[in-house]
Structure 1
Amino acid sequence: MVHQPLSFWIIFTCGHTHTPKMPSYTVTVATGSQWFAGTDDYIYITLVGTEGCSERSLLDKPLYNDFERGAVDSYDVNVSEDLGELEVVKLEKNKYWVQDDWYCKYVTVKTPSGDYVEFPCFRWLVDDKEVVLRDGRARLPQDDKTRLAKQHRRKELETRQKTYRWKEWQPGIPMSIDANKHSELPRDIQFDSEKGVDFVLNYTKAIENLCVNQFMHMFQSSWRDLGDFEAIFVRIKNTISEYVMQHWKEDFMFGYQYLNGCNPVIIRKCSKLPEKFPVTHEMVEDCLERDLTLEQEIQAGNIYIADYEILEGITANSTDPCTPQHIAASIVLLYKNVQNKVMPLAIQLGQTPGEDSPIFLPSDGQYDWMLAKIWARSSDFHTHQTVTHLLRTHLISEVFGIAMFRQLPCVHPVYKLILPHVRFTIAINTKAREQLICESGIFDKANGTGGGGHVEMIQRAMKSFTYKSLCFPDEIKARGVESQEELPFYFYRDDGNAVWEAIKSFVSDVVGIYYDSDEKVQKDEEIQAFVKDVCSFGMQDFDTCEFPKSLKTRNELIQYLTAIIFTSSAQHAAVNFGQYDWCSWIPNSPSTMRKPPPSKKGVADVQLIIDSLPDRGRSCWHLGAVWALSQFQENEVYLGMYTDEHFIEKPVKDAMKAFRKRLADITSTIKRRNEGKKLPYYYLSPDKIPCSVAV
């Protein structure tokens, strides 16, 4: 984010003959309020206008400590002639004693005529470097006419492209930032110091706070019975997690999670039973409530399916040879009954039918059916963690963020629009690659797909991952679950549609301010480069992804930007912050299974279930993980909040105000709906949706 000097042009511009002294400019400089934002280094400023520039001026108040954290300091800068219209200000930081980084929020300049010009900064000045700021008006590249403006734009992107480089973390998955550790990232995208994001530390604290560290010394020992899992629920105060603990064995709870649990993206309408899942009417007729055959129920739209085919052949975690771990590529048939509840109808724990892969039914023995459901929930957990959560929110948001920094200068309206939605995303992903999903990382300690299986899953998921699947209404329609009449109580769909439309309306307002025609979109070389960078580099030009390489209309741009903002805010919130609610009761979402799936009926009992579920140590790691991942950060920035004012134009501020009003209305609607519910759904309530993927 730090720019190379525009020395040649500034010197050229500033080469003038001295004239009688003109009235001074008043410069106001705001320092950030985060930890260590202040500096004791020397700060210099140069004002550059269309007619000339000021001398390089030291900003200093004798006997006064300038640039303290949270400070707003004002200075007079004397000039020898009229500078004309201010184009840029140049800030320089030079070492006083030791290098002392400084975070500048903004610079405001009061001209001799009394006008105020705002120069947003919101970035760090590190070492003996400088930053050159444009005034806060957003401009498309074709709007810049002066040589200085065009050069500033070009220099900024040249520097950024050297700083933000693509790197392949693993083959066949989206590209990431070229940094091995969080400390190697550009200062502007690192976490604030007080955030203290450290997976090892946070998980350890979570385990201590939940009072489960007492079980860690018995790492590989089994629990005694199902009730014994309550021992690690000692600190639970959460209404939903307690309800899950009490009702997890019931079929309605199993089915409900496909609609409103933390992985509500798997269920799809079944229009025809796949040959690999040969469920017959005779198998399930006792569960059907409408005097229809299974085929008729399918035709009536009452049958749904969840297929975990992506897990077929995935390598199970073998990092601990003493404790074999197992994975199942389950298939689940679901039935919407006359009460509009979604209930499990049949479960097959593999993709190949046969004698060794029986179809489990509600009419089977109690423990056979219970174990089959536990296996299906384990399949769901793996798919959620690796595909729904990691790939489809974290990794894709990082792609958008890197491409944004590489191709869009700070003055571009789209940069200003999406910057809040990539806040800390590259940092959290880098930290995850450093500690969580790396070889021998925390992921390997508890998860059945650790040790490399999670990478295999992402590689496989990329073969069916498309741009349209990021467009919420299209994704819902593709699964055949768009109708409220056919599938009521699908709050994820209903709230998601409301938030999507609110975001789209806001994006449409902003796009309309800067693009008055489709032609302007086509001629915006920076937005076209951004879109191409996402597809050709970030997504590695995978044939199946269908990401656009160019945008031709305003509507296409609106859809694209809406997908970016929704994915990084609402979609992540929907699949992240419910993890403790739905996954903390271990039998409901096992992170691994220690016995292979049953190959016949009639063999399951309580002991087999206990022996199959995670041992004490892995249960504790799992609980600490879902606790830590479900916590909101201190000073969280939620959807509709714009703490950094990158836009200064009134029309955009009016659009933001209207956006907040729409979001507040959605929040109120959700709050009213949730009143009195034993299972409230609030993950897509805008007041609980952070702006970005930051945890």
Structure 2
Amino acid sequence: MFGKIIGDALKTTGDALRTTGDVAGSVVNAGGNVIDRATDIGWIGNRKIKGKVILMRSNVLDFNEFHSTVLDGFTELLGSGIVLQLVSATHVDRHSNDPRGKVGRRAYLERWLTSLPPLFAGESVFQINFEWDEEFGYPGAFYIRNGHTSEFFLKSLTLEDVPGYGKVHFDCNSWVYPQRRYNKDRIFFANKTYLPSETPDPLRKYREEELVNLRGNGKGERQEWDRIYDYDVYNDIADPDGGDKLVRPILGGSDYPYPRRGRTGRPRTRRDPNSESRLKSMIGLNIYVPRDENFGHLKMGDFLGYALKALSSNIKPGLQTIFDLTPGEFDKFKELHNLYEGGFPIPPNVFKTFTDGLTAPMFKELLRTDGERFLRFPVPQVIKDNKSGWRTDEEFAREMIAGVNPILIRRLQHFPPSSKLDPKVYGNQNSIITEEQIKDGLEGLTVNEAIKENKLYILDHHDALMPYLKKINSTSTKSYATRTLLFLKADGTLKPLVIELSLPHPQGDEHGAISKLYFPAENGVESSIWQLAKAYVAVNDAGYHQLICHWLHTHAVLEPFVIATHRQLSVLHPIHKLLVPHYKDTMFINAFARQTLINADGLLESTHFQSKYAMELSSYVYKEWNFLEQALPADLIKRGVAIHDSSSSHGVKLLIEDYPFAVDGLEIWSTIKNWVAAYCSLYYKDDNAIQNDIELQSWWKEAREKGHADKKDEPWWPKMHTMAELVESCTIIIWIASALHAAVNFGQYPYGGFIPNRPTLSRRFMPEVGSKEYKELESNPEKAFLKTINSQMQCLLGMSLIEILSRHASDEVYLGQRASLEWTADKDAINAFEKFGEEVHGVEQRIMERNVNINLKNRTGPANVPYTLLIPSSTEGLTGRGIPNSISI
């Protein structure tokens, strides 16, 4: 076999070199003889500039990569290795009319053959020597050509002692593919920062050309080595060729407005020329995004990358097989608790069928097989210390301000609660709650007094769901549109007063809603009815959280800004350097989600009550999205849970003083905004500088008009004419990518891993008095409850999904940190960032102090789960804390 590899290597090397052309100043003739490299050697003068290159090779344990390693060795011997050429930022070639900076002599990466690659994709350090020309000046960029047959990840180049300039660093962090994959040589810039108008003239053209390369021409199917950022609609979540059950609307456009996603250019489906075909194979998670947006080697090798793949391609169909053969229900909560202690029991023959062939370590870890039990889960925090605390009204209410979805509760300012739905279409959708029905819970106040004293609050899922409820309930789902009214007690906690469950009128939407009210009860069947009412609220909240608060309002709305930043802001631009750390992995996790999570019959449709209408419903809600209202202070004021207060450092005063998400979030928000303001002020001296920044203006215009094309005419968009608008806009983007996403993502398993606390769907309606379901509720309330919410298969699938989504990867970078210490050469920016990191650490200390303050009852609650989701730092794994810089899972 090895002899064949050698033979193939010789042939492939010759082909590669002929295809690449004069990659390294060498020419291979028909007989394979090498000439002309001596020319380069003769160029080397007496003075040299030493450099250090850090890169990561591909994993050599893979056979294909071993094959490439052999080929790369031959290309080195034949003089076609890795070639670098410096580009001057201060001088042009005086022998040419080209305004671009002078290009230096070729330099070759040294000792590739004698530097053995690591067993795993770790860093390798190489020396390189550049000939120095006194007329060259400052090296502001360099070209690199990869003459090998395999790609590598270029981390950095550092020049040790450039005459007159000292150390010059290039922060690269990019995959470099073989030269034949590119139309133009790859270029990297030194870690200087320039506004477009301040760019040295010799670098100006290079800067402009690189942005043109990243935009592409909008044509063709993208390949893994492409570096093209472009937009498309969501025409890839359906599978028309798979049959009618997999048809879904295309999201993006006047009918179904939506943020845009990264374009792949895959072929269209046979059945619908407007829909993009779907990948049939998930080998290597090979979904196109620009290569540098893909998961890094550590994360791809972690549990996270492959667990998601395994969940979609093996565990979901495996569970369906199991429950086709052994259908069943959970009969009591004890059976759910057993999932954390011993796993799920299945018959031996079924277990063998399911696990045959799953020998890879990633599957063993994911399945946690043990005899004839599998899928043993870690204990969720919500039941770790108190197995029944989740059932209390106090915990039910507390999670609205300190749970995984603490961003929907609002203050009730008019009674009874009213609907904004068009009465001509939907009839009377206003609440039927009366003062008489809730007065005993108002602690002696009238409704008007309670409203005036800011004591009444509501969790309202009515208007968002009612227009789709008839469609949703035509599936196996049986859900309600819910309103939950709450009272703020003197001790700062909330108590639920009433739950309203509503259904569309059976004679037509125009006849209004059919609503029923349910009240707190502690004994008898009324207590069981109340627990079910709270479960229907939790179903609404869990589904709205996952598809709207989590997916739409963080993942989806941010992707257009990622694309626009790379297309319009050069890596030399200060705002590019500010924002790019907050985009890490976002395009890839979104692309993966479209392939296996939010797609037709995907994991979210299978586990949430919206079923096949999930994404269509998210489009309906996007119509109300407002960029400026994503700012935390603006959001709190809009929901009425805070008011303007100029004396406060945050500019607002909370009306629920012990509101953990808001208290912690405002500190994080202010810290981010202070950092952004300090950083931007280093580069923009006045508003005119912002208005005259052509890249900044193009970025903002494209993010609005292409990325959020269906919202481009909204009057609320900042015009990007002032420093205040720039700071607010960048703060919102960073807030969404970091703290907001952390708050709604990493608590999914801690709070929802015990499904009865946050069921994601309901399979039957509230039992009517006299029915067999009602009698079952009287005689066996636990069994009746469990038969109403997620089935066994839906429980196991949903728990598996949110456990993965709630984990931190080993290569995570958290708020206040940077992956590279040399991300900029600007010492003032470095100092400002260090101060930001110190302030983030200070916020963390204050959060931990609040969590042990016994007077703040909402910090832990009956379930004894401290609110830690906005603690910035974390370790790897399932921690229930940590704010990564970006939406990375």
1:588 to 751, 757, 769: 757
Give unpaired runs (5+ residues) of structure 2.
1-19, 23-41, 76-80, 93-101, 217-227, 235-250, 267-278, 280-285, 342-376, 419-429, 506-511, 644-652, 854-859, 874-881
Q: Which amino acid aligns with 2:835?
A: A
Q: Does 1:230 align with 2:337?
A: yes
Cα deviation for residue 250 of structure 1 reads 1.3
Match of 1:260 among 383, 394, 402: 402
Structure 1 residues 600, 420: closer, same or farther in 2, change over 3 A? Answer: farther
Q: Alignment partner for residue 421 of structure 1, among 582, 585, 590?
A: 582
Residue equivalent to 2:239 = none
Residue 282 in structure 1 maps to residue 282 in structure 2: no
Q: Go from structure 1 to structure 2 and tell me whether the alpha carbon gap of 1:438 and 1:192 turns closer, same or farther (over 3 Å shift).
A: same
Instruction: Provide the residue aligned with 1:76 in structure 2.
Output: 129
507, 512, 520: which is aligned to 1:362? Answer: 520
Task: Please tell me whether the aligned partners of residues 110 and 126 of structure 2 are also in contact (alpha carbons under 8 angstroms).
Answer: no
Q: What do the CA deviations read for 1:91-115 (whole angstroms, capped 9, x no partner)?
A: 11112xx333343333435324572
Pairing 1:510-525 to 2, within 5 Å after superposition: 510-525=679-694
Give, in whole Å, the separation in 1 of the partners of 2:112 and 2:793.
60
**Partner Cα separation in structure 2 for residue 80 and residue 149 of structure 1:** 18
Between the aligned partners of 1:20 and 1:619, the Cα distance in structure 2 is 68
Q: Deviations over 1:359-406 (max 9, x none)?
A: 111259212211111101100011100000000111122121111111
Structure 2 match to 1:657: 834
* Structure 1 counterpart of 2:49: 25
Contact 1:219 1:618 in 2 (8 A): no
> Structure 1 residues 190 and 680 mapped into 2: Cα distance closer, same or farther (>3 Å)?
same
Identity between Structure 1 and Structure 2 (%): 24
- The equivalent of 1:45 in structure 2 is 84
Aligned pairs for 1:417-496 (under 5 A) are: 417-451=578-612, 453-482=613-642, 486-496=655-665
1:682 aligns to 2:868 (yes or no) = yes
- Mind listing any 5+ residue stretches in structure 1 that lack a counterpart? 8-17
C-alpha separation between the residues in 1 aligned to 2:537 and 2:112? 70
Q: Is the 8 A contact 2:152 2:176 kept in 1?
A: yes
Query: CA distance change for structure 1 residues 550 and 318 in 2, over 3 Å: closer, same or farther?
Result: closer
Residues 482-541 of structure 1: CA distance to partner in whole angstroms, max 9, x if unpaired? 266631221100100000111111111110111111111111111111111111111114
Tell me the alpha carbon deviations over residues 23-76 of structure 1, each in whole angstroms, 9 at most, x when there is no partner.
Answer: 222222121489679974721011222154322222223863288741232222
> 2: distance between equivalents of 1:74 and 1:461?
55
For 2:50, the aligned partner's letter is T
SS at 2:391 equivalent: coil
1:647 aligns with 2:671: no
Are 1:310 and 2:460 matched, yes or no?
A: no
SS in 1 for 2:743: helix
Residue 105 (structure 1) aligned with residue 156 (structure 2)? yes
Q: Secondary structure at the match of 2:173?
A: strand
- Higher mean C-alpha deviation, range 330-339 or range 517-526: 330-339
Distance 1:107 1:560 in 2: 34
Q: 1: CA distance between counterparts of 2:386 and 2:556?
A: 30
Amino acid in the other structure paired with 2:205: Q
Q: Which residue of 2 aligns with 1:348?
A: 500
**Deviation (angstroms), 1:173:** 1.1
Is the 2:470–2:504 Cα contact (8 Å) retained in structure 1?
Answer: no
Aligned twin of 1:12: none
Aligned to 1:623, the other structure's residue is in SS state: helix
**How many angstroms apart in 1 are the aligned matches of 2:666 and 2:715?**
23
Q: CA distance change for structure 1 residues 597 and 142 in 2, over 3 Å: closer, same or farther?
A: farther
Alignment partners' CA distance in 2, 1:617 and 1:350 = 28
- CA deviation vs aligned residue, 1:119-158 (integer Å, no higher than 9, x gap): 2211111121432122211111111241x32211111111
Out of 161, 173, 181, the residue aligned to residue 215 of structure 2 is 161
- Residue of structure 2 equivalent to 1:13: none
For CA contacts below 8 A with separation 6 or more, give which structure has more relative contact order: 1
Equivalent AA in structure 2 for residue 137 of structure 1: K
Q: 1:593 to 1:219 in 2, by over 3 A?
A: farther
Indicate if the aligned counterparts of 1:199 and 1:436 stay in contact, CA closer than 8 A.
Answer: no
Q: 1:408 to 1:355 in 2, by over 3 A?
A: closer
Match of 2:717 among 527, 530, 548: 548
Identify if the C-alpha distance between structure 1 residues 165 and 373 changes in structure 2 by more than 3 Å, giving closer, same or farther. same
Matched residue SS, 2:52: strand
Paired residue secondary structure (2:756): helix
Distance 1:271 1:565 in 2: 31
Does structure 1 conserve the Cα–Cα contact (< 8 Å) formed by 2:50 and 2:161?
Answer: yes
Matches within 5 A, 1:164-175: 164-169=229-234, 170-171=251-252, 172-175=257-260
**Post-superposition offset of 1:651:** 0.6
Q: Is the aligned partner of 1:192 residue 2:192?
A: no
Q: Which residue of 2 aligns with 1:118?
A: 169
Tell me, in whole angstroms, the C-alpha distance in 2 between the residues paired with 1:20 and 1:388: 60
Partner residue, 2:99: none
Q: Deviations over 1:174-209 (max 9, x none)?
A: 10001366432221111123323145445479989x
SS state at 1:487 partner: coil
Larger radius of gyration: 2
1:292 to 445, 448, 453: 445
Shift in CA distance, 259/58, structure 1 to aligned 2, threshold 3 Å: same
**Aligned equivalents of 1:596, 1:53: Cα separation in 2:** 73
Q: Partner letter of residue 685 of structure 1?
A: I
* Equivalent residue letter for 1:164: Y
Q: For 1:377, give the aligned amino acid.
A: A
Counterpart in the other structure of 1:86: 139
CA distance in 1: counterparts of 2:452 and 2:147, whole angstroms: 73
User: For residues 572 and 441 of structure 2, what CA distance do their matches in structure 1 show?
Assistant: 61
State the distance in 2 between where 1:681 and 1:582 align.
11
Q: How many angstroms apart in 1 are the aligned matches of 2:44 and 2:787?
A: 89
| Closer, same or farther: CA 202–689 of 1 in aligned 2, 3 Å | farther
Q: 1:437 to 1:205 in 2, by over 3 A?
A: closer
Counterpart in the other structure of 2:561: 400
Which residue of structure 1 aligns with residue 848 of structure 2? 671
Task: Give the direction of change, closer, same or farther, for the CA distance of 1:534–1:243 in structure 2 (3 Å limit).
Answer: farther
Deviation at 1:572, TM superposition (A): 0.4
Seen in structure 2, the aligned counterparts of structure 1 residues 529 and 198 have a Cα distance that, compared at 3 Å, is farther
Aligned-pair CA distance for 1:20:
11
Matches of 1:255 and 1:325, distance apart in 2? 25
How many aligned residue pairs are there? Answer: 671
- How far apart, CA to CA, are the structure 2 residues paired with 1:219 and 1:312? 36
Query: Are 2:877 and 1:692 aligned?
Result: no
User: What CA RMSD, in Å, does the superposition of the two structures yield over aligned residues?
Assistant: 3.2
2:480 is matched with: 328
> Taking structure 1 as reference, are residues 541 and 207 closer, same or farther at Cα in structure 2, changes over 3 Å only?
closer
Partners of 1:411 and 1:60 in 2: CA distance: 29
Which is further off, 246-255 or 651-660?
A: 246-255
Question: Residue by residue, what CA displacement relative to the aligned partner does 1:631-655 show, whole Å, maximum 9, x if unpaired?
Answer: 1111211111111232121111101
The one-letter code of the counterpart of 2:449 is Q
1:139 corresponds to which of 194, 215, 218: 194
Query: Residues 314 and 597 from structure 1, CA distance in 2 versus in 1: closer, same or farther, beyond 3 angstroms?
Result: farther
CA 1:34–1:598: 2 relative to 1, 3 Å: farther
Q: How does 1:371-390 map to 2 (within 5 A)?
A: 371-390=532-551
